[in-house]
Amino acid sequence: MMRIGILASGSGSNLQAILDACAHGSIPAQVAAVMSNVAGARALSRAEEAGVPALLLAHGAYPSRDAYDAEMVSLLRRHQVDLVCLAGFMRLITPVLLSAFQNRILNIHPSLLPAYPGMHAVRQALKAGARVSGCTVHIVDEGTDTGPIVIQAAVPVLDGDTEETLAARILVQEHRCYPRAISLMAQGRVEIDGRRVRIKGSSGDPTRTLSSPELSD
């Protein structure tokens, strides 16, 4: 069974969605460890409540990003992690981690990439006057939110939306998309071909683009 390592800096709501999906059997994998760079992060207590090793790795104790990521790799390997999932991990990762888990690091981003990469994606969408936003699960590479896309979900931008209301509706879809993408990885169905992802065992797999209820009315 695939073993997942989750990196989180904050409350860990996507972490909780993954823990719940593993517990219910919709992800054929187990969370082997949760790691955070922030003492007292809610993500760590969520892990403890689920009986998962919760690891604090404070970045201030390391002289460089490379040194920090090398220690992270060591801990992930110690817990026999196969797949790394970023769930609100507020640090740029280095080639040290990328090379150790090549094509085996997932991230979720609150926009329909390649639109609005980087920080404040929801704010960017509203400022641009976008009528549709959403979320994307992608493979992590050396760029900023530039890796191959696994799954996306569309969310309409409503006339009265604020950054907070739109972000909240996108988060609902994140909690659907991330477990689905991890499940596909755990089943060995994700095939990376350059910048594109193919889902093995299906033709034009509809699960790769999930519609929110508001778009299906």
- Cβ–Cβ under 8 Å, residues 45 and 56: no
SS3 196: strand
Quote the pLDDT of residue 201.
82
User: Which backbone phi and psi does 155 adopt, to 5 degrees?
Assistant: -135, 125
pLDDT per residue over 56-88, tens digit each?
999 899 999 999 999 999 999 999 999 999 999
Helix/strand/coil (H, E, C) string of 110-124? CCCCCCCCCCCHHHH
The residues of the chain scoring below 70 in pLDDT are 202-217
Cis peptide preceding 114, ω within 30 of 0: yes
Quote the pLDDT of residue 150.
98
**Catalytic residue positions?**
109
User: Which backbone phi and psi does 131 adopt, to 5 degrees?
Assistant: -95, -20
Domains and CATH numbers, the chain: 1-102 (3.40.50.170), 108-217 (3.40.50.170)
- Cβ–Cβ under 8 Å, residues 90 and 10: yes
Quote the pLDDT of residue 217.
41
Quote the pLDDT of residue 216.
46
Quote the pLDDT of residue 203.
55
Quote the pLDDT of residue 21.
98
